[in-house]
Amino acid sequence: MIIVSDLSEISQPTAIALGNFDGVHLGHQHVIEPVLPSSRANLYPKFPLDLQVAPDLFEQALISTVVTFSPHPQEFFSSTPRLLLTPIAEKVEQLKALGVEQLVLLPFDAALAKLTAQEFMQKILIERLNVQKISVGFNFRFGYKRQGSIADLLDVWGNHLHVVPEQTISLEGNHLDGTHPEKNHTTPIRISSSNIRTALAQGELELANSLLGRPYCLTGTVVEGNQLGRQLGFPTANLQLHPQKLLPRDGVYAVYVDGIPAGTEPSMQIQTPPQPVLGVMNIGVRPTVSGDRLRTIEVHLLNWSGDLYGCDLTVHLLKFVRPEKKFTSLDELKAQINADCDVALSIRNSKIPFSTAY
Ligand SMILES: Cc1cc2nc3c(=O)[nH]c(=O)nc-3n(C[C@H](O)[C@H](O)[C@H](O)COP(=O)(O)O)c2cc1C
Ligand SMILES: Nc1ncnc2c1ncn2[C@@H]1O[C@H](COP(=O)(O)OP(=O)(O)O)[C@@H](O)[C@H]1O
């Protein structure tokens, strides 16, 4: 995938999906899908009718492109960094996996913020991107003070504009609002970044993952901690994350971890490439052992031993197990971590979304 932020380097003509796409969740995937080469021909009429090339060849020449703003407009206006579901490196990986050919990061600055909707369409979409097809979500707004709407895009691109209606999923017994609906009661939930954020803040992992279409991930580098874990019998890889990564609520999670080198035990040496490993993760301030109140993200891998310092790991969160707690002794903490490991082991064949996908 080509990544461009210099407007003069954009590959064109393009078929674009426009939006911020934080999370690249199921709703975003619906917006991006129509511009991918595989589905383009079926969703839009052949284009352009007056060109002297065969329509199929023209279709193939369009570069499937995601156009987004960097920084996020809200971040530009508030001058404060925004916590993100997918910081840029993660967004890039997700878009690559979908088959997007080009990512355009429009530098959102004072000049761009001042462009009217008409100017944005003319100067950016037509002159720079040579946009032939567009896909947007139903509530997309653009241009100065968000005055531009889907009607403006429709005026220019007509039936080469694809508008994705609001997407929902139905889940049994979700309780986003903190209540517990009757069993078997299904409520449609809007697929949106803000609903994913709320679900993560409440430890509603199954819901967050269902809205994302994959497990929520934390990617980071293993750094040194206080070296207390090995004394407890549960060594933990302490992760340093991107500073803008949005963390779910504090507590203990059952996880799968990617990016692990072969372990030191003989049975681990024959895994090529290394398989994801089941683990338990704690996010919090470790009230039992630490007075510094600094938040750490640490993961203990089940049935694994070896050296992880400096490795880049991706932790896939599957289930919120329990809140973090202050124990009166280290023995109590050890017994509880043992029980947490049992919970993680028990999810392998459970109905929890994505727990059997590894
Ligand atoms: C699954 C798991 C659950 C944990 N739960 C708690 C907890 O409830 N309370 C707490 O104070 N610390 C908890 N911890 C953190 C341990 O105290 C921590 O792993 C230990 O201090 C080792 O830190 P180190 O990596 O800096 O050596 C937990 C750790 C793990 C891996
Ligand atoms: N099963 C395991 N899970 C996590 N880390 C492990 C495991 N086995 C060995 N390690 C190694 O031990 C380190 C963690 O040990 P620990 O005593 O908790 O030290 P630290 O406080 O520096 O994290 C990890 O960074 C990794 O290199």
Could you give all domains of the chain from N- to C-terminal order, each with its CATH number? 2-164 (3.40.50.620), 167-213 (no CATH), 215-346 (2.40.30.30)
| pLDDT reported for residue 41 | 63
Strands (DSSP E) contained in 110-210 are 131-137, 161-164, 168-172, 186-190
How far, in Å, is the centroid of ligand 1 from the Cα of 299? 9
Q: What is the ipTM of this complex?
A: 0.96
Structure token pair of residue 97:
């996996």
| pLDDT reported for residue 293 | 80
Q: Is the peptide bond before 165 cis (omega within 30 degrees of 0)?
A: no
Asked if residue 286 has its Cβ within 6 Å of ligand 1, the reply is yes
Mean pLDDT split into 10-residue runs, the chain, 358 residues = 96 96 96 88 58 62 94 85 94 96 95 95 97 96 94 96 94 54 68 97 96 97 92 95 97 94 66 79 94 90 94 96 97 97 89 75
| pLDDT reported for residue 45 | 63
How far, in Å, is the centroid of ligand 2 from the Cα of 223? 10
Give the Cα separation of 163 and 139 in Å (integer): 9
| pLDDT reported for residue 183 | 47
* DSSP per-residue string spanning 20-69: --TT--HHHHHHHGGGSHHHHHHHS--S-TT-SS-HHHHHHHSEEEEEEE
How far, in Å, is the centroid of ligand 1 from the Cα of 243? 21
Instruction: Among 294, 295, 298, say which to mutate for ligand 1: greatest number of ligand atoms within 8 Å of CB.
Output: 298
Asked if residue 330 has its Cβ within 6 Å of ligand 1, the reply is no
- The helix/strand/coil state of 89 is helix
**Quick one: which H or E segment has residue 295?**
none
Q: Which atom of ligand 2 is nearest to the CA of 300?
A: 3
pTM of the model: 0.90
Asked if residue 226 has its Cβ within 6 Å of ligand 1, the reply is yes
Q: Which atom of ligand 1 is nearest to the CA of 300?
A: 31
